[in-house]
Structure 1
């Protein structure tokens, strides 16, 4: 099966500064200021056409950072990233201009993706119908609820027919009926052999939809494989994590942050 996404030792490093002065000094002086923070460290995995991969892990583990790298929103600091095909990211607020109306956002997003005016005119009714926003389609997006923004973002992304779809918590807001509609569309994409990455805190959605799971823990891959093999191990960890006291969780988190800052 042809590989659509390949990551080799992908790392994303950020700099943490105490204030804006320290950030400025780090830019203009040769001496390094600020502290390194590794949101992702040496990530290795690959996906092929038709793969549906769920990203799992507790908050702060790097799921959204990885999804943004795959979608081309942010670049990795180091490592090798190969993407074969057109990618679309679906996340609340992703790529939306809140000052523009829903209809204007559709036109802008499609223009940015290289669609002609004729193609946009043909696509627009399908996007509007899928989003099902009624009269709000001609209202500024800043007046939308999180669920409405998600509906618009999902409708645009699935109707531009990407080869690789990255869905980051887009089904966690809004009503269940729309979530079911989205899952049906995703299953249609799955049947057509598209690659899908799915980020959600809903384990039931993961089990229902994904075939593989990538378990991230504070910037590192803890496990990767078939969903029926990885998910039971993750659920066992979650049960243990939730049973921890606040002090134990704090200690666990602090140890992980030290590793992410290269202090372990």
Structure 2
């Protein structure tokens, strides 16, 4: 099958500083200074054209970092990412300028993606209708609720018709009616053979919509395969984790944290 995304040995490292002087030491020291935190560590997987992949994992596992790398928002520290086609990230805070109105954000986003004025004029009414935020379309985005941000971001991204759609918790806010409308639109994309990465804490939505599951467990790929095979394993882990005492949870989290911290 034709590959749409190929991720090979990708890691994303962030330096951890306790004071500003450590930043200077890190710059001047031949081997660097301080500790590094790995949001992702040696991630590898492939997606085929038409795959609908649910990215699962507990908070802090690196799901949003991965979505930003696939969408080209941030680069990996090491490893390679091949994306065959245009990718669009839909997240509550992504790509919207606070000082601009919703309408101005539509124009700016489309201009950045190479649309001409005529195309933007044709697309804008469709985007506004789908977003359905009323008079707020002509108000600064900084006045929007998280739900309105999500509506506008989703409406823009689906109407620019990307080859690869990365949805990061964008349907976790707002009302169910809008979420259902978004899922209907995503099903249209699925039928067109587009690749979709769907990040959500709604296991029900995942099971309903996704064919595959990518389980990210604290920066690593824990499992990757069919949703019907991976999700039961993830649900079993969550059930076991919830049964832990607070002391056991803290000990587990500390072991994980130390495994992702490396001295310079």
* TM-score of Structure 1 vs Structure 2, range by shorter chain: over 0.9
Using the TM superposition, give the Cα deviation of residue 80 of structure 1 relative to its aligned residue in structure 2, in angstroms. 1.7
Whole-angstrom distance in 1 between the partners of 2:43 and 2:190: 25
Q: Do structure 1's residue 173 and structure 2's residue 166 form an aligned pair?
A: no
Q: Deviations over 1:72-124 (max 9, x none)?
A: 00001111211000000000010000111000000111111111111111111
- 1:250 is matched with 250
Whole-angstrom distance in 1 between the partners of 2:30 and 2:236: 47
Q: Do structure 1's residue 83 and structure 2's residue 83 form an aligned pair?
A: yes
- 1:67 is matched with 67
* Structure 1: tracts of 5 or more residues without a match: none
- 1:148 is matched with 148
Q: Do structure 1's residue 37 and structure 2's residue 37 form an aligned pair?
A: yes
Q: Deviations over 1:214-234 (max 9, x none)?
A: 001110011000000000000
Whole-angstrom distance in 1 between the partners of 2:147 and 2:19: 35
- 2:10 is matched with 10
Whole-angstrom distance in 1 between the partners of 2:119 and 2:92: 25
- 1:99 is matched with 99
The runs of at least 4 aligned residues of structure 1 exceeding 3 Å deviation read: none
Whole-angstrom distance in 1 between the partners of 2:246 and 2:81: 38
* Structure 2: tracts of 5 or more residues without a match: none
* 3-state secondary structure, aligned to 2:90: strand
Q: Which moved more, 1:28-37 or 1:13-22?
A: 28-37
Using the TM superposition, give the Cα deviation of residue 31 of structure 1 relative to its aligned residue in structure 2, in angstroms. 4.7
What number of residue pairs does the alignment pair up? 263
Which residues in structure 2 correspond to 1:209-248 (within 5 Å)?
209-248=209-248
User: CA RMSD of the aligned region, Å?
Assistant: 1.0
Whole-angstrom distance in 2 between the partners of 1:166 and 1:90: 6
* 3-state secondary structure, aligned to 2:55: strand
State the TM-score, normalized to the length of structure 2. 0.98
Contact 1:17 1:33 in 2 (8 A): no
Using the TM superposition, give the Cα deviation of residue 30 of structure 1 relative to its aligned residue in structure 2, in angstroms. 2.8
Whole-angstrom distance in 1 between the partners of 2:235 and 2:81: 30
- 1:187 is matched with 187
Whole-angstrom distance in 2 between the partners of 1:31 and 1:210: 44
- 2:159 is matched with 159
State the TM-score, normalized to the length of structure 1. 0.98
* 3-state secondary structure, aligned to 1:24: helix
